[in-house]
Amino acid sequence: TYVVTENCIKCKYMDCVEVCPVDCFYAGENMLVIHPDECIDCGVCEPECPAEAIVPDSDGKASAWIEKNREFATLWPNMTRKGTPPADADEWKDRDGKAELFSP
Ligand code: SF4
Ligand code: F3S
């Protein structure tokens, strides 16, 4: 499965939502997650994310986020259409240390 990681926090571009063939993204206040049981591993979302937030679960960057994706995909609403990203999304892109801003 693919995993959304901390790079998504406060960027939330949602380009990923546009391309996912199975609509398996779920939206929290400031980031999205992927439902691991619904993702078909097609990989099309990975290059679409401007923040490079999406990685395969085999990637080292995924490890801290695998459980969060699984947990919050069952709690947050499904997102099937791209909405408007935060106005300051570009300012948060490529910033380190966003994990502590995760909003459950
Ligand atoms: Fe959707 Fe494919 Fe990305 Fe999985 S890998 S979240 S199925 S676009
Ligand atoms: Fe987040 Fe990237 Fe999608 S910033 S909302 S994973 S396009």
For tokens 């966003």, the residue is 98
Alpha-carbon distance of 62 to 64, in angstroms, equals: 6
**Cα–chain-centroid distance for residue 82?**
13
Mean pLDDT of the residues in the chain: 98
Q: Atom 2 (ligand 1): residue with closest C-alpha?
A: 42
Regarding the beta carbon of 2 and ligand 1, being less than 6 Å apart is answered: yes
- pLDDT of amino acid 18: 97
User: pLDDT class for 64, splitting at 50, 70, 90?
Assistant: very high
Ligand 2 centroid, distance to 8 Cα (angstroms): 5
Query: Cα(99) to centroid of ligand 2, in Å?
Result: 15
What is the tens place of the pLDDT at every residue in 67-88? 999 999 999 999 999 999 999 9
Q: What is the ipTM of this complex?
A: 0.98
